[in-house]
Amino acid sequence: MESSHTNSNHLPVIQVDPGSHSPERQPDSSRTKRKRLSKACDACHKSKRRCDGTAPCSNCYFASKRCTYTDSSGRPVPAPRNMNSDRARGPAAGFPTQDYAPDGDSSISHTGDPQGEREPARRRTRIDAPDTAPVPAITSSSSQGSALDAPSSPPSKLLDPATTYELVNLFFAHCNPHRLIIHKPSFSASLSHNRLPEYLVLAVCATAAPLSKTFCAQSSPNPGRLAGVPFFREAVAIMFDSAGRLLSAPCLATAQALCLLEMHEVAASHSWTKTYRYFDLALQLLEESLSVHKPDEPINSALSQSASSDSLNVYIERECTRRCFWMIQCMDWVSGIYIYRPMRPRNVELMHYVRLPIDETNFELTVHSNSATTEYLHVPAPCTRYASEFGHLCRILSIYQSLQSRLATTEEGPARIAVVSESRRALDIWLSTLPGHLRFSEETLENQLSMFETGSNTGAWCFCFMHALHPCCFLALLEGEGRLGEPIPWVRTQLNMIVNATAHRIRNTILLACVLWSYSRYHPDDPQLHVWDREFEKVWSFRVMVVADQWRQAQALERAKGEQAAAAEAASDTAAPERSARELDLQVQYQADLAEHARVRREAAQAQNLPSLKASGLLDSWKPPSEAFANALSITTQAREDGERRTSMSSQAARGPPPAGLNWLNNEA
């Protein structure tokens, strides 16, 4: 596949009229003809297609396939051509989900000095830039170079150094669970060397802007939660074309940016009922392009002869890929707990194959050793020092969501008792497998809170979140057993300890929102709830309890309508036997009428020379079907005029065609 080349020094990022073309985008006719390759990639060799020899090649790149090169013995070999020296690859259209379109208010082009022009979207378009291209936060060994490439486009006006410095640090200090998907040391190193894709930095700033007093003041009189909208819109303008098709390369940085854009949307709209379209797109990328469901061993063995830094990069990239999947799944569980949103069927399947994240210590320090445990959701957690904090959070969310969804669809009786018993057993197992440093106590809480004062606070946040969910899940069990009464002291004490100890930090995340939503369902009159809700409102400009009450009222109204419809249907089923008996009586009467009619026809056939039946009064002996039987033929009860119309039609039937051989009756009538 031949690619277009350009003489421009940057990649276009502004949306323009799709019909416009830049002369700088015309092919360079002076380029010499490419030499024939001696080695094609495995996929091109198998399909007998022309391969350009880069890693990945054009065919694999646009088909979102993994591109590998092996020798005749099956050993991995480097690509024949260096992509950076041959041609660099920019954002590309034609990612499989081309029918996706971002929200209407999210695809607005920013107005500033022109940075270039974007090519019109094509189904299979590859936009190339000379020498350089945006590099993901974590690059694989196939694209890792020793030199630090320059950025492919002029920096955004929104991303001046002061703004970037403030918002990136706010992001790593407060934005959980967002920052769980980004390896901070690699991100910081790439940012300092200007190697990060601009759209990823914009997505980070969009989620952190509501926590900045400066940007909240600039967004006034709008709520502070909308402070990140300018960053959000510019990131969307770079990642998507005017038709809403994804232009960014199918890489880890794109998946991370899509996750962050969705988290921004959730906070800005304060809605957990919205359609997670960015998450859906990220999930497709994670499975089809990044192979999130595949184990790491083949990748590590393939890189065994490469430099250790390359192997570590792949190790980090694979872990970040899995973390993107599990963060999306965590948000799905949260939605399932509070608004009963069903799980994605494909995600339920993938959860059996995708490893849980490793512990935060090994993740941040990139300790490539046996200290990190291999954990899966369906396998009991190992009770070790390096048990995954993120993994334990996933487990309690899974138990809680399963309990809530099954209680909502199970009637009172043995089935409900079995659901509660199974969930209680799962909760007890989760609690018993917690290692000592992850069990809740005043001492462990103080140890975890000390990490909140640093930028490495993801483990502490997971600890607080899982132990805030535990008492809420316990209340749901009591509700399922029908034993929910007065507030339970230990539940209120544990929640109060977590909220008070984390102070303002808990207000910045969904942790407090989840506590308020759950606890207000069981004890809405607790005065402490209103104190927490006011604290949350100071940051996000809305009250969780108000939103929760509105949603519950809407659900109650919907359930009431459903119960009325069910009652009406049951009443209709009760009346069915009576209606069947009445129809049987009418059928018997109709058969008697037909017998009488047959007798009259026989007598008329035997007396051809008798006086007319009308003159003899015999015509009155033939009666049409009764009015009751005519009514029984109707599916629904008709109005009075319908009954009168049927009576008229019955009279016409009486005067209608006479029996066979008695056509002369028409003249007598």
Span 469-479, pLDDT tens digits: 999 999 999 98
CA distance 239 to 229: 15
pLDDT for residue 550: 80
pLDDT for residue 171: 95
Residue of 528 and 193 predicted with greater confidence: 193
Residue 439 binned pLDDT confidence (cut-offs 50, 70, 90): very high
CA distance 86 to 509: 45
pLDDT for residue 119: 39
Window from 93-97, 375-379, 458-462 with minimum mean pLDDT: 93-97
What counts of helices (H) and strands (E) characterise the chain? 27, 2
pLDDT for residue 130: 32
pLDDT for residue 137: 37
pLDDT for residue 459: 94
Q: Considering the domain boundaries, does residue 659 fall inside one?
A: no
pLDDT for residue 121: 38
pLDDT for residue 369: 52
Does one domain contain both 522 and 633?
no
CB distance 468 to 484 below 8 Å? no
Window from 342-356, 518-532, 606-620 with minimum mean pLDDT: 606-620
CA distance 177 to 161: 25
Question: DSSP assignment, residue 89?
Answer: E
Type of residue numbered 381: A
Does one domain contain both 637 and 491?
no
Question: pLDDT over 90 for what percent of the chain?
Answer: 34
User: Does residue 655 register a pLDDT over 70?
Assistant: no
Structure tokens at 481: 């057993």
Top-ranked range on mean pLDDT: pick from 17-31, 442-456, 467-481, 544-558: 467-481
**In a 10 Å sphere around its CB, with 0-12 CB exposed, 13-18 middle and 19+ buried, how is residue 290 labelled?**
buried
Q: Considering the domain boundaries, does residue 104 fall inside one?
A: no
User: Does residue 133 register a pLDDT over 70?
Assistant: no
User: Does residue 26 register a pLDDT over 80?
Assistant: no
In this structure, the number of other CB atoms found within 10 A of the CB of residue 472 comes to: 21
Looking at residues 352-366, what average pLDDT do you find? 92
Give the DSSP H/E element, type plus range, for residue 90: strand 88-92
Question: pLDDT over 70 for what percent of the chain?
Answer: 65
CA distance 354 to 391: 12
Residue of 52 and 114 predicted with greater confidence: 52
Tell me the Ramachandran region of residue 473: left when phi exceeds 0, alpha when psi lies from -120 to 50, beta otherwise: alpha
pLDDT for residue 445: 93
Residue bearing tokens 């890189």: 303
Query: What are the CA-CA distances from residue 185 to residues 172, 182, 361, 455 (Å)?
Result: 11, 9, 12, 11
CB distance 313 to 144 below 8 Å? yes
Q: Which of 312, 338, 355 is the last residue of a domain?
A: 355
CA distance 21 to 4: 13
CA distance 113 to 157: 9
Strands 88-92 and 126-129: antiparallel
CA distance 6 to 26: 7
Does one domain contain both 527 and 404?
yes
CB contact set of 643 (below 8 Å; sequence gap of 6+): 627, 631
Does one domain contain both 304 and 175?
yes
User: Does residue 271 register a pLDDT over 80?
Assistant: no
> Which of 217, 669, 191, 176 has the alpha carbon at shortest distance from 458?
176
CB contact set of 13 (below 8 Å; sequence gap of 6+): 115, 116, 118, 153, 198, 237, 238
User: Does residue 131 register a pLDDT over 70?
Assistant: no
Does one domain contain both 423 and 550?
yes
Question: DSSP assignment, residue 293?
Answer: T
pLDDT for residue 608: 44
CA distance 265 to 635: 51
pLDDT for residue 113: 39
Alpha helix segments (H runs only) across 179-240: 184-192, 198-208, 213-219, 229-239
pLDDT for residue 506: 74
User: Does residue 464 register a pLDDT over 60?
Assistant: yes
Looking at residues 201-218, what average pLDDT do you find? 93
Structure tokens at 27: 């092919």
Window from 97-111, 354-368, 388-402, 644-658 with minimum mean pLDDT: 97-111
Does one domain contain both 415 and 533?
yes
Q: Considering the domain boundaries, does residue 396 fall inside one?
A: yes
Top-ranked range on mean pLDDT: pick from 105-119, 345-359, 619-633: 345-359
Phi, psi (rounded to 5 degrees) for 91:
-55, 140
Top-ranked range on mean pLDDT: pick from 109-123, 579-593, 639-653: 579-593
pLDDT for residue 28: 45
Residue bearing tokens 């959980």: 176
User: Does residue 591 register a pLDDT over 90?
Assistant: no
Type of residue numbered 30: S
Q: Considering the domain boundaries, does residue 625 fall inside one?
A: yes
pLDDT for residue 169: 94
Window from 47-51, 426-430, 489-493, 570-574 with minimum mean pLDDT: 570-574
Q: Considering the domain boundaries, does residue 66 fall inside one?
A: no
The pTM for the full model equals: 0.64
Window from 176-180, 420-424, 547-551 with minimum mean pLDDT: 547-551
Residue of 449 and 425 predicted with greater confidence: 425
Does one domain contain both 596 and 550?
no
Name the residue range of residue 626's domain: 581-600+614-653
Q: Considering the domain boundaries, does residue 668 fall inside one?
A: no
Looking at residues 638-664, what average pLDDT do you find? 46
Top-ranked range on mean pLDDT: pick from 256-265, 411-420, 577-586: 256-265
pLDDT for residue 183: 95
Q: Which of 308, 329, 355 is the last residue of a domain?
A: 355
pLDDT for residue 627: 40
Buried b (16+ CB within 10 A) or exposed e, 333-368: bbbbbbbebebbeebeebbeebbbbbbbebbbeebe
CB distance 154 to 10 below 8 Å? yes
CB distance 322 to 363 below 8 Å? no
Number of domains in the chain: 3
Window from 24-33, 67-76, 279-288, 324-333 with minimum mean pLDDT: 24-33
Does one domain contain both 310 and 418?
no
> 70 by DSSP, 3-state: which?
strand
> 50 by DSSP, 3-state: which?
coil
Structure tokens at 103: 């929200």
CA distance 262 to 259: 5
pLDDT for residue 272: 54
Question: For residue 88, what are the β-bridge partners?
Answer: 129
Structure tokens at 448: 């975890």
Residue of 273 and 568 predicted with greater confidence: 568
Q: Considering the domain boundaries, does residue 400 fall inside one?
A: yes
Does one domain contain both 554 and 587?
no
CB distance 278 to 256 below 8 Å? no
CB distance 127 to 11 below 8 Å? yes
User: Does residue 149 register a pLDDT over 50?
Assistant: no
Does one domain contain both 438 and 546?
yes
Does one domain contain both 595 and 531?
no
CA distance 597 to 338: 70
User: Does residue 99 register a pLDDT over 60?
Assistant: no
Type of residue numbered 242: S
Q: Considering the domain boundaries, does residue 596 fall inside one?
A: yes
pLDDT for residue 589: 63
> Which of 371, 385, 500 has the alpha carbon at shortest distance from 438?
385
R_g of the chain computed on alpha carbons: 36
Residue 377 binned pLDDT confidence (cut-offs 50, 70, 90): very high
CA distance 54 to 68: 10
Residue bearing tokens 């445990």: 373
pLDDT for residue 23: 35
Question: DSSP assignment, residue 524?
Answer: T
CA distance 299 to 280: 26
Does one domain contain both 420 and 310?
no
Residue 580 binned pLDDT confidence (cut-offs 50, 70, 90): low
CB contact set of 476 (below 8 Å; sequence gap of 6+): 400, 403, 404, 407, 518
